[in-house]
Chain A
Amino acid sequence: MMHALLPFFQWADQTWLGNVIRGSRLYFPVIETFHLFALTLLFGAVLIMNLRLCGLVMRSQPVTQVERDLRPWTLWSLTVILASGFMLFLSEAMKCYASEPFRFKMLFLFSAIAFHFTIYRYVVKRDQFNQLLSKLVAMISVTLWLGVGLGGRAIGFL
């Protein structure tokens, strides 16, 4: 399956933006730092939301209220993460092509996003949702996002 995507990786590797980032010592670290800030924000928001779903924090606040409070920041940080992540990817697309952790990360990332905007969204928009199912959904959400983080960190190591 990766083989079919080779032209995409080759294209990404040769983009103007990829070349610009690769050509500078400074751009990659700076973009990477923004990537890190945004993921801290997102992970914190997801964690608080999931702890609420498990009934461990902010019990006095309805789930939907917590969701409304966190949503704008969650969406903004996700936007920054995806934009900065895509730029980092362009600058080393061929390295990513060969990287096992990168595949792992993308698998978890696409699953996490798909889950987040479907089942997860359905659950956090309801106040009287089944508690057991809420906990299960929270657990899946944390696992998926944690997988993204682990895979991401591992790209630099393996």
Chain B
Amino acid sequence: MQEVPAIIHWLQVSDIGTGIRESIWLFPIVETTHVLALSLSVGVLVWFDFRLLGLSMRHQPISQVHKQIMPFALIGFVLMFVTGILLFWSEAEKCYVSGFFRLKVLALVLAGVNAMIFEFTTKRSIEDWDKAPLPPRRVQIAGLMSLITWTLVIGAGRATAYNLF
């Protein structure tokens, strides 16, 4: 095993980490919640991204789709984040050395940055393109970036479990 920082090792051998890893039921339950929460959060978020790209719900104001979908996406994100932390806790060393896991974290950060840019800058001019079936290019890019980064998060996350590299 590759050398890992002390804190990673400490997480791995901690009572909670060991408890989750070695429990017959806990790990599968946490993992299943993680995946179901993912289909809740990203599953509804992609529809907002499709709206930004003019691919779906074109006649609904973007602000409406945003308002209706985000609460559910947020519930999913919270669940996903909490269970994700627990999963990491239980397999900290494996995750730390995994190239896929690093890619996943990177994609996650990019997804966050993209969402922040959209929320705090792009969205300021929403009145100009709220009802447009196809919003301006920079709004479309926000939707596309979200799709790409979340696809990477899911793909790299799934691949982490396979230990291919």
**Chain A residues proximal to chain B, CB less than 8 Å:** 25-26, 29, 32-33, 36-37, 39-45, 47-48, 51, 57-58, 60-61, 65-66, 69-70, 73, 146, 149-150, 153-154, 157-158
Contacts and interface: CB of A to CB of B under 8 A. Distances in A.
A40 B46 contact: yes
A153 B36 CA distance: 9
B44 A48 contact: yes
B44 A47 contact: yes
B86 to A, nearest CB: 16
Q: Describe A's contact surface by its main secondary structure.
A: helix
Given A44-B44, A44-B46, A47-B72, A37 B151 contact: yes
Given A48-B47, A153-B31, 14 more contacts: A25-B164, A26-B164, A33-B155, A33-B158, A36-B35, A41-B43, A45-B43, A47-B72, A61-B57, A70-B47, A70-B56, A73-B56, A153-B28, A153-B35
A69 B158 contact: no
A36 B46 contact: no
Contacts of B57: 61, 66, 69
A70 to B, nearest CB: 7
A154 B159 contact: no
B69 A149 contact: no
Interface size class of B (residues with CB under 8 A): 20 to 34
Q: Describe B's contact surface by its main secondary structure.
A: helix
Given A69-B57, A153-B31, A36 B42 contact: no
Interface string B40-65: 10111111001000001101100011
Contacts of A25: 164
Nearest to A149: B36
Contacts of A51: 72
Nearest to B44: A44
A66 B28 CA distance: 35
B32 interface: yes
21 contacts: A25-B164, A29-B158, A29-B164, A33-B154, A33-B158, A36-B35, A36-B158, A37-B151, A40-B43, A43-B39, A43-B43, A44-B40, A44-B45, A44-B46, A57-B69, A65-B59, A69-B56, A149-B35, A149-B36, A153-B31, A158-B28
B47 A44 contact: yes
Contact of B42 (A44, A69, A153): A44
Contacts of B18: none
B50 A73 contact: yes
9 closest residue pairs by CB, A with B? A44-B43, A43-B39, A57-B68, A157-B28, A43-B43, A69-B57, A153-B32, A44-B44, A29-B162
B72 A146 contact: no
Contact of A37 (B60, B68, B154, B159): B154
A32 B69 CA distance: 27
Given A29-B159, A47-B44, A70-B56, A39 B39 contact: yes
B71 to A, nearest CB: 9
